[in-house]
Amino acid sequence: MDKLLIALDVPSGGEALQLADTLRGSVGGFKIGNQLFTAEGPVIVRTLAAKGDRVFLDLKFHDIPNTVASAVAAATSLGAWMINVHAAGGLKMMQAAAETARRTAAAEGRPAPRMIAVTVLTSMSGEALAQTGVSGAVIEQVSRLAKLAQHAGLDGVVASPQETSVIRALCGDAFEIVTPGIRGGSASTTKNDQERTMSPGEAIAAGASYIVVGRPVIAAPDPRKAAERIAEEIRSAQN
């Protein structure tokens, strides 16, 4: 199921590779975040990419344009399929990221990675956002940054389930929306630290291009079965 991305939120490369072996063929790709990448380094990305897996490198780059562009070039050369940056880094930073991804991929003869922006972290409340000097509702800032990302030539954004339909309406059908915070339905109902959740089918119906699922799959007694159940719910929601 192409639309189902699994967060490999585990502490070691060995565990990540084992999970990937278990899930390969039933899911659309694997997300590698700061924990695993900091612990194990780029070899885990190279290894999965060499096995043909789609790797979403979730390192949320946020720096001056030249530094972000260099990091994106390195991630592209590793074979990442999807890379993200913080939209708060601004238009020039995102343009540099998008252009470098395309240029690096073309020079190496590989498909360009999807470039995705994080708008407002879902851990930020309106109050937390105000403390950083941004007034107004969270969804206004999310919408503003999603439009800016689109204007910069990025392929899409990461968005909470509650933001998905607003962004879909604002940015059109071709814009990719990657949605974590998936619980309920065929996914586990244990919320962990997720607050505003939707089931896999609800998220797809709201306009998600991809859903990111971690613990409901990786902590399940049978991860492959858990992934297959979620894939089935996605398929039903698409019909």
Report, in this order, helix, strand and coil percent for the chain, each rounded to 5: 50, 15, 35
Site for ligand C5P in 156-175 (CB under 6 A): 158, 160
Those residues whose C-beta lies under 8 Å from the C-beta of residue 144, and which sit 6 or more positions away, are none
Does residue 153 bind ligand C5P (CB under 6 A)? Answer: no
Burial per residue of 211-229, b for 16 or more beta-carbon CB atoms within 10 angstroms, e otherwise: bbbbbbbbebeebbebbbb
Nearest to 99 by CA among 155, 61, 172, 34: 155
181 sits near ligand C5P (criterion: CB under 6 A): yes
Helix (H) or strand (E) holding 212: strand 210-213
Residue whose CB is less far from ligand C5P, 33 or 90: 33
Q: Which parts of 3-62 interact with ligand C5P (CB under 6 A)?
A: 7, 9, 33
Task: Let me know how long the chain is.
Answer: 239
Q: Which of 31, 60, 92, 191 is catalytic?
A: 60
> With binding defined as CB under 6 A, does residue 223 bind ligand C5P?
no
Q: How far is the CB of 220 from ligand C5P (least distance, A)?
A: 11
Nearer to ligand C5P, 99 or 140 (CB): 140
The distance of closest approach from Cβ of residue 109 to ligand C5P in the complex, given in angstroms and rounded to an integer, is 31
60 is annotated as an active-site residue: yes
Closest CA to 52 of 79, 71, 14, 13: 79
Per CB under 6 A, the segment of 17-25, 93-101, 144-152, 211-219 that binds ligand C5P is: 211-219
Question: Are 216 and 206 a contacting pair, CB within 8 Å?
Answer: no
Tally the C-alpha atoms within 13 A of residue 77's C-alpha that lie toward its C-beta: 10
User: Which single residue brings its beta carbon nearest to ligand C5P?
Assistant: 214
Report the helix count and the strand count for the chain, using DSSP H and E. Answer: 11, 8
Of 96, 215, 223, 234, the residue at the interface with ligand C5P (CB under 6 A) is 215
Write out the binding residues for ligand C5P, residues 61-120 only, by CB under 6 A.
none
Contact between 230 and ligand C5P by CB under 6 A: the answer reads: no
Number of residues that bind ligand C5P (CB under 6 A): 17
Short-list 31, 2, 53, 25, CA closest to 224? 25
Which of 28, 113, 214, 223 is in the footprint of ligand C5P by CB under 6 A? 214
Task: Give residues in contact with ligand C5P (CB under 6 A).
Answer: 7, 9, 33, 121-122, 158, 160, 180-182, 192, 194, 212-216
Active site residues per annotation: 60
